Structure 1
């Protein structure tokens, strides 16, 4: 058996801390907490970049068709 690395020890401590927070709570309480904590899968910066590419392209295309 090998000794734990400091990284494994740190992650095991984080896992234990997370599971201790769940102890004594019902599934309903845990589900409510998970729903509150969930973050968007894409940051606002990348959403803005994607919006600029899509809608900016549409605007430029409409302008080129209108004036061109």
Structure 2
């Protein structure tokens, strides 16, 4: 049995609602950008110095 114009319109409305529930297709999704650290590079250097600085100073004292 063929669809009537009313059935075709109702099916189109239903399909549109269901598609909105499912979300966007993979191609339409926004691609994630490269990972960005929450801590800046300068702070990482400062933290590394604080954590390893004592060892560096002890090695310098040992040789000089």
Q: TM-score range by the shorter chain?
A: 0.3 to 0.5
Question: With structure 2 as the length reference, what TM-score do the two structures score?
Answer: 0.42
**Larger helix percent:** 1
Question: With structure 1 as the length reference, what TM-score do the two structures score?
Answer: 0.40
